[in-house]
Amino acid sequence: MATMQQQQEFDALIQTVDVLQATRFCQVAAVVIVIHDYVLNFDNEIRHIWGKRFSLVTVLYLVNRYVGSIIIICDALLFTNTSFSVQVSKIFQLIACFGPFISIWSTQLIMQLRLYAMYSNSKRILSFTLTLLLLEMAGTVTVIVIWMRIITYNNRPFAPWIDSWHMCATSSPNRSLTAIYVPIFAYEMVMFGLALFAVFHKLGGIGAAVQSRTRLQATVNMLFKYSIVYFAVYFIACAVAIGMYLGLPPTYIDVLNVFLMAISVLLGSHMVLGARGFSPTPEDRRLGEDTSSRCESAIRDDEYNHSTSHVRPDNFVRLILVLGARARNSALPRSFLSLSPVQTLAVPHIVGIVRFGGTVTLAS
């Protein structure tokens, strides 16, 4: 009887070790994915983040990208390092519990600012979405605090076979942590509905949207990149996480949990880089309200085009003309906007800019 009981304990131990090993692999894989994506998009980050004036979106991007990546690395250290004491493990456990929400909330704030712009800077929408976000934060923190008050830490050896190995783990009497996804998913549902309403409201309904083919293509392209994909990925991630929490033993919880954090970091980062690198079509430029804004759009298109790794000389010409026109509140001639890069470069021997009596002229 004793031999059979020891065999069962040994089998359970082997299964636990296998799960921990799988968790380690997933933690390292998430770190590799985040670092790989960072290296691939570093050129775009230099162009669209560091090469522009700092703003609130820039700060949110940096928090999401860098703080989120550091938290993922700390989470991986918690599972791959075998020399941590119980106190150090508790600190890393707190980082693993609260850290991911820094990235999640920064990403949600980025989406909130985008929604605020879609509603023409409506203060009412901003107040409503901020209230929802604060309620979501309060609900999330409440669930985490309740869960942390009922869990127990243990640092028991793998006795009687391996006395020198200890496993620092947490155990909970229930699965209350699954409630953490309820406020997150409810908030994302409301934000997605507001985004869809804003799009079709501006287009005058679905029928008008289908008829205005050019406007529909540009709008749906942006919506697909930053709203539909964002919501769909978060929905699938929350569904998978809830399924794992409810359907698997507690030892399996952290196997794929780190990928939820990685998804948040990647979505938030690509949302900012994609929005700043989005190049409207010529038809979209003609929908602009004034000549100055169309010229600025042309500069952004040429300067930050994905196929260009440096600033071409014609961009300097256009930039100087825009700045000169802004200085005197004067609009640029429409003929300049229609010039191609080759035609712009054909302006002979441009060596400087001279202002005379409120006009901008070229000195050759």
In this predicted model, what pLDDT tens digit does every residue of 266-317 receive, in sequence order?
A: 988 888 888 777 655 554 444 444 433 443 444 344 444 444 434 444 444 4
* Band (90; pLDDT cuts 50, 70, 90): confident
* Band (40; pLDDT cuts 50, 70, 90): very high
Q: Among 278, 309, 330, which residue terminates a domain?
A: 278
Predicted pLDDT of residue 278: 64
- Same domain assignment for residues 60 and 164: yes
Range of the domain at 356: 284-363
Q: Cα separations (Å) of 90 from 1, 76, 84, 354? A: 38, 14, 10, 66
* Most confident range, picked from 4-13, 120-129, 148-157, 225-234: 120-129
307 or 8, which is more confident?
8
Amino acid residing at 225: K
CATH number of the domain to which 233 belongs: 1.20.1070
Contacts of 352 (CB under 8 A, 6+ apart): 362, 363
- Same domain assignment for residues 301 and 271: no
Q: How many domains does the chain have?
A: 2
Task: Give me 257's structure tokens.
Answer: 């949990």
Is residue 99 within a helix (H) or strand (E), and if so which, with residue range?
helix 86-118
- Same domain assignment for residues 299 and 256: no
Backbone phi, psi, residue 86, to 5°: -65, -40
Q: Cα separations (Å) of 279 from 8, 113, 161, 283, 288? A: 62, 20, 63, 11, 14
- Same domain assignment for residues 239 and 157: yes
What are 54-62's contacts with CB under 8 Å, separation 24+?
Answer: 56/113, 57/110, 57/113, 57/272, 60/106, 60/107, 60/109, 60/110, 60/113, 60/268, 60/272, 61/106, 61/110, 61/268, 61/269, 61/272
Q: Among 278, 299, 322, which residue terminates a domain?
A: 278
Note the residue count of the chain. 364
